[in-house]
Amino acid sequence: PEVKKFVAWDYVVFAALFLVCASIGVFFAVKERKKKTSKEFLVGGRQMTCGPIAFSLTSSFMSAVTVLGTPSEVYRYGASFVLFFLSYALVIIFTAELFLPVFYRSGITSTYEYLELRFNKIVRLAATLIYILQTILYTGIVVYAPSLALNQVTGFDLWGSVVATGIVCTFYCTLGGLKAVVWTDAFQMTVMVAGFMTVLIRGTTLNGGSTKVWEDAYKGSRLNIFDFDVDPLRRHTFWTIVIGGTFTWLGLYGVNQSTIQRCISCKSEKHAKLALYLNLLGLWTVLVCAVFCGLVMYSHYKSCDPWTADFISAPDQLMPYFVMDIFSAMPGVPGLFVACAFSGTLSTVAASINALATVTFEDLVKKGFPNLSEKMSTWISKGLCILYGVLCTSMAAAASLLGGVVQASLSIHGMCGGPMLGLFTLGIVFPCANWKGAIGGLLAGITLAFWAGTGSFIYPAPPAKSIPLQLSTLNCTLANSTEALTTAAPTAAPDREPLLADTWYSLSYLYFSAIGCLGCAITGLLISFVTGPSKGEDIPPVLIKPVCNLFCFWSKRLKAFLWCGVQHDSQQVDFEKNLPKVIANKTGTDDTFKNSINKENKRQFPGYNPEENSYTN
């Protein structure tokens, strides 16, 4: 059936979203115009509170990929996607208790500064370049996917929406810095939840209430959530989602610049941890909304699947098609859903642009030009925001080649984020790891993850491992036929070339991150032991998290042995002494770095005024 396109009211609601986002950028540009330091622009002067940061984190990582992709996944494969709530919980605990304390106490702006403090400049540069590549690729998908889906279903102009997204994000990032990004994200999060709830309420009402939706989902095998099959080739099982999903999202949360930049912009470490735990509630809320939307959509189309019947050309268009179908008599409401999808896009793109600008400025520009004035630093940061805004928007053109949005985005995060997670784990958990081990481990992890990821792209898994559940077109009026269609049952796949096609290349996409992380960590430790492990006495305790304390709390001697010489007992006393010394040894500019580290430490005390170098009692 022909589904109605956008009308004037839909465009008004959608345009209002863009207008509010741009206004927030202007507001912070005017409000903060006297605070022209690059630190204020990039990390909000480290004065943010936990509330808006929690909203911002949720909004940034629950992009349009979630709004459009997750309901479609549930519709086709069942509600096992809800098991990600366990993955999210593990990820937040590890991030808040393992990675965040080290980053926050180090007083860094870019997470990759840590790698120079712990290893050396080469490791920092390699990690920075990988992060820039990963983020530009991912942002391309986030911009392109919703634009394409909405264009084909609602008639919304494809490149118009791509360019509008890029321009608005770049505009408020460049004008308002991190504070504008965070507060815009908080607004977009409310729009996203409002859009989901509207679809849920209307869809449930049309399909006979929640009990009927639940019954339909049960009869259609959509509620077979707990599949404990240990086969790593199966696309989604309990183990692939909980183990593989944890590694994938930990690479995205625990060591990702976008996340850590927000957390270290908080006024205290306690606020930063609280932001992460509040953000977990937000992640669960959006996940549950998306999963239930998928079940409601299945109940609505159980006997007439628009994808199999060729009413739409890709599964990612199911959600927009559903919205235009159920709200055809309510002008303005489809506009709210499109605003919901684009809220996810805007927040993710803005976070990426801001993080890319920060990493490039801190890790590349400041290294080449260490004596830049604050005013020039701020202007360069804004210029970088514009540059990355253009690059990320341009990258959207390449995203059309990557298939389903959820799988494509998580595959990219897995292939790049896994080895990075392994690299930071080497530095934070293993004091014996040296810089040679770090470089060797990173190369090994990247090679393994890209080998598996690229192979799976060229040789997709056999249908038996990833076949969608049954979908019917029994009650459809098909365009060129009167026969009913159903998805084919899985058949035994013929032998494929090369030999690895049905094993290594058919691994679940969620395991790419685990492969990269473990490959990096194991190779790094082996190389470190072969080339001579680092001396713990030379490593400031603030750069290492003594995880061994959890497992051998009964024995001080055993703890001291596993610390590998790192002086954790004197961590608070030696911090100001040791860290500048290590930086000086690595950089050769003792006074400059000592002053900057001391200034960072003083900023953490209340009442300190850096301009006058004094305290207000």
Most confident of 22-31, 214-223, 472-481: 214-223
Contact 468, 76 (CB under 8 A): yes
Residues β-bridged to residue 266: 48
Q: Is the pLDDT of residue 583 over 60?
A: no
Contacts 24+ apart (CB under 8 A), 593-601: 597/107, 600/107, 601/107, 601/575, 601/576
Q: Is the pLDDT higher at 551 or at 53?
A: 53
pLDDT recorded at residue 444: 95
- The torsion region of residue 434 among left (phi > 0), alpha (psi -120 to 50) and beta comes to beta
Q: What is the pLDDT of residue 204?
A: 93
Range picked from 15-19, 237-241, 478-482 for highest mean pLDDT:
237-241
Give just the sign of the alpha carbon dihedral 510, 513, 519, 522: negative
Residue 214 has pLDDT above 80, yes or no: yes
Sign of the Cα pseudo-torsion (591, 593, 595, 597, in order): negative
Q: Give the residue with greater pLDDT, 34 vs 278.
A: 278
In a 13 Å sphere around the CA of 319, the CA atoms on its Cβ side amount to 34
Whole-angstrom Cα distance, residue 343 to residue 324?
A: 18
pLDDT at residue number 577: 46
214-218, 361-365, 423-427, 571-575: the lowest-pLDDT one: 571-575
Weakest-pLDDT range from 226-235, 263-272, 567-576? 567-576
Name the most confidently modeled range: 306-320, 412-426, 448-462, 571-585.
412-426
For residue 345, is pLDDT > 60?
yes
Predicted pLDDT at 169:
74
Pairwise pLDDT comparison (239 vs 251), residue with the higher score: 239
Cα gap 263→413, rounded to integer Å:
20
281 or 410: whose pLDDT is higher?
281
Handedness of CA 426, 432, 438, 443 (dihedral sign): negative
The per-residue pLDDT for 439 is 94
Tell me the whole-structure pTM to 2 decimals. 0.81
| CA 147 distance to own-chain centroid | 19
Q: Given a cut of 70, is residue 585 above it in pLDDT?
A: no
Please state, rounded to an integer, the average pLDDT across all residues of the chain: 78
Q: What is the pLDDT of residue 374?
A: 77
Q: Which two tokens stand for residue 4?
A: 């109605």
110, pLDDT greater than 90: no
Average pLDDT over residues 503-510: 83
Give residue-wise pLDDT tens across range 522-533: 999 999 999 988
pLDDT of the residue at 132: 87
What pLDDT is attached to residue 123?
92
CA-CA-CA-CA torsion sign (133, 134, 135, 140): positive
Cβ neighbours for 60, distance < 8 A, ≥ 6 positions apart: 185, 258, 262, 347, 348, 350, 351
The pair of three-digit structure tokens given for residue 301, joined into one six-digit string: 């189309």
Q: 287-331 pLDDT, tens per residue?
A: 999 999 999 999 999 888 888 888 887 787 888 888 888 888 888
Which of these ranges, 96-110, 283-297, 465-479, has the smallest mean pLDDT?
465-479
Assigned token pair, 570: 């004197």
For the cut 60, the answer to whether the pLDDT of residue 88 exceeds it is yes
pLDDT in tens, 388-418: 888 887 877 666 665 555 566 667 777 888 9
Most confident of 43-57, 58-72, 294-308, 459-473: 294-308
For the chain, the domains span 8-396+408-428+448-475+505-512, 535-615
The strand pairing partners of 608, in sequence order, are 615
Residue 615 belongs to what H/E stretch? strand 614-615
pLDDT value at residue 480: 43
- For residues 308, 138, 153 and 221, what is the CA-based torsion angle, rounded to 10 degrees? 30
Task: List alpha helices for 62-120, DSSP H.
Answer: 64, 70-77, 84-94, 100-106, 111-118
pLDDT band for 133, please (50, 70, 90 cuts). Answer: confident
Question: Which range, 18-27, 274-283, 331-340, 528-537, is most confident?
Answer: 274-283
Can you give the pLDDT at residue 595?
46
Q: For residues 422 and 520, is the Cβ–Cβ distance under 8 A?
A: yes
Question: Taking 90 as the threshold, does the pLDDT of residue 48 lie above it?
Answer: no
Is there a contact between 8 and 158 (Cβ–Cβ < 8 Å)? no
Q: Is the pLDDT of residue 451 over 60?
A: yes
**In the prediction, which pLDDT does 592 show?**
39
CATH 1.10.1740.10 holds for 8-396+408-428+448-475+505-512: no
Environment class of residue 493 by beta-carbon count within 10 Å: exposed (0-12), middle (13-18) or buried (19+)?
Answer: middle
Give the residue with greater pLDDT, 54 vs 608.
Answer: 54
HSE, side-chain direction, 13 A CA sphere, residue 501: 12
Q: Are 318 and 226 in contact (CB under 8 A)?
A: no
Q: By percentage, how much of the chain surpasses pLDDT 70?
A: 78
Among candidate residues 342, 319, 408, 404, the one with its CA nearest the CA of residue 19: 342
Give Dmax (Cα) for the chain.
82
Mean pLDDT of 448-466: 79
224 contacts: CB under 8 Å, gap ≥ 6: 78, 80
Q: State the average pLDDT over residues 498-515.
A: 82
